[in-house]
Amino acid sequence: MVQKIGQVIITAALTYATDVTNGFPSQIAPGAKPGPAAVRYKTAKYSAAGIYLSNYPYLDQANAEARSRLHGFFENQLSLLVLADRLLDAGMGDKHDSVAKQRSIIDGNVSQILAASKTCYEKPLECVTAVTSLRLADVDESVFVLPPLPIASFRLMTTSKGVWTRDESVAYMRSMIEVYEPSPLTGGAKAHFSRNPTLSDLGKNEGASVVLYVEGQVLKQAEFRFENRTISSIPISESSSAYPGKISGNTAILVVATTRGNPGWLDIDIAAARQGLWIKDMPDADGVFYVLVRDGFGRATRFDIEYEKWKREVSKTGNTEKTEAKYTYRNRWWDKQSGGTSLVGDGPYTAQGSSSAMDSRTQ
């Protein structure tokens, strides 16, 4: 009987100790009410656990503020450093030494910032003092300003005189000359009348050309295009294989029409470009021939040359294939106000006209 009572007691004790629903564990479970009661508290110094707090109050906040200021200094100097490197890589011409000098100043500032950063990392107690005592040198940011975009104007160029001024070119091409030659007004018979001079008039005794005179720093390359189609690339840097006499300092000459027959002298052959486009995949087109001038600063500047619209139709009758091509053109090369390079708007156009050609071929 005693043995049986003992077994009951032991069973009840074990149940109380292990029953998580109604036993002791349920009384100290998270959220249990009223929950466990503190019997006593025992404290010890941090040093008993090997923890030594030597920093004074607010040090973390002060260091966070100092490091934030340091980060701002670094970001500013880094942006100037990147800009200086890009400009020096591109080439700054006569401003190279000035940019290189400021680049050296930036290097010194970055070194100071890194030294203060090292202090903040290794010696927190000295961080604030290291940052507040920084004396960064002033950087002349004006030398980092990119030069103006390239500009261009249509001009005349002759063998004896070289490149004419813009005013001289416009004055000549807008003047009137007296001629005795076949006239459409007389059905093709020769007659005396006045008209604007042509390039052929100027080039009777010497080579004459119409050129796009480009002025800009660190010129690299020109792309001759019709709308989004690149027709050719033209080197316009002094280190390139450009035609002698076309590249000099900050200027480049692109020949768009000429009486000279020198191979390679004509840079922009609109007639050949038009024919190549309409024979291939553009029998119908309406757009602008233009030049995209790229410089060493990653910029591209557009200069319009001529607007054209054409239509080329091929028909076949029996064994005969007939091709008819018509085109109209207009430009404002000799407009006094625009420099001749813009085709925006309705005029004034200084040259415009149309032409057609018929070709028959028997197969």
Q: Write the pLDDT tens digit of every residue in 22-67.
A: 777 777 777 667 667 777 777 887 667 766 556 666 788 888 999 9
Q: Whose CA is closest to 208, among 163, 243, 168?
A: 163
pLDDT > 80? residue 16: no
pLDDT per position as a tens digit, 278-304: 888 899 999 999 999 998 878 899 999
Q: Are residues 134 and 224 in the same domain?
A: no
Q: Are residues 18 and 79 in the same domain?
A: no
Q: Are residues 159 and 63 in the same domain?
A: no
Residue 227 lies in a domain: yes
pLDDT per position as a tens digit, 131-180: 999 999 999 988 888 888 999 999 999 999 999 999 999 999 999 988 88
Q: Are residues 243 and 106 in the same domain?
A: no
Q: Are residues 136 and 159 in the same domain?
A: no
Q: At what angle do helices 96-122 and 59-90 cross, to 10 degrees?
A: 160
Place of tokens 């290189």: 100
Percentage of the chain lying above the pLDDT 90 cut: 44
Q: First CA to last CA across the chain, in angstroms?
A: 130
Q: How many domains does the chain have?
A: 3
Residue 186 lies in a domain: no
Q: Are residues 120 and 229 in the same domain?
A: no
Residue 14 lies in a domain: yes
Q: Are residues 167 and 239 in the same domain?
A: yes
pLDDT per position as a tens digit, 310-325: 998 888 877 788 888 8
- Other CB atoms within a 10 A radius of the CB of residue 277 amount to 21
Give me 285's structure tokens. Answer: 């087109």
Q: Are residues 161 and 287 in the same domain?
A: yes
Report the pLDDT value the prediction gives residue 189, as an integer from 0 to 100. 82
pLDDT > 60? residue 258: yes
Q: Are residues 22 and 117 in the same domain?
A: no
- Other CB atoms within a 10 A radius of the CB of residue 360 amount to 11
Domain range for 65 is 59-144
Residue 140 lies in a domain: yes
Q: Are residues 216 and 327 in the same domain?
A: yes
Residue 33 lies in a domain: no
Residue 334 lies in a domain: yes
Spell out the SS3 assignment of the chain.
CHHHHHHHHHHHHHHHHHCCCCCHHHHCCCCCCCCCCCCCCCCCCHHHHCCCCCCCCCHHHHHHHHHHHHHHHHHHHHHHHHHHHHHHHHCCHHHHHHHHHHHHHHHHHHHHHHHHHHHHHHCHHHHHHHHHCCCCCCCCHHHHCCCCCCEEEEEEEECCCEECCHHHHHHHHCCCEEEEEECHHHCCCEEEEEECCCHHHHCCCCCEEEEEEEECCCEEEEEEEECCEEEEEEECCCCCCCCCCCEECCEEEEEEEECCCCCCCCCCCHHHHHHHHHHHCCCEEEEEEEEEEEECCCCEEEEEEEEEEEEEEEEEECCEEEEEEEEEEEECCCCCCCCCCCCCCCCCCCEEEEEEEEEEEEC
Residue ending a domain, among 102, 128, 144, is: 144
Spell out the SS3 assignment of 196-217.
CCCHHHHCCCCCEEEEEEEECC
* Three-point CA angle 240, 242, 247, nearest 5°: 90
Residue 219 lies in a domain: yes
Report the pLDDT value the prediction gives residue 359, as an integer from 0 to 100. 65
pLDDT per position as a tens digit, 186-241: 777 888 888 888 899 888 889 999 999 999 988 889 999 999 999 999 999 876 66
pLDDT > 90? residue 330: yes
Paired sense of beta strands 247-248 and 190-195, if any: unpaired
- Other CB atoms within a 10 A radius of the CB of residue 272 amount to 12
Average pLDDT, the chain: 85
Q: Are residues 216 and 128 in the same domain?
A: no
Give me 133's structure tokens. Answer: 């005592």
Q: Are residues 131 and 232 in the same domain?
A: no
Residue ending a domain, among 122, 144, 166, is: 144
Residue 324 forms beta bridges with which residues?
313, 358
pLDDT per position as a tens digit, 79-101: 899 888 888 887 777 788 999 99
Q: How far apart are CA 154 and CA 175, in angstroms?
A: 16
Q: How far apart are CA 267 and CA 246, in angstroms?
A: 10
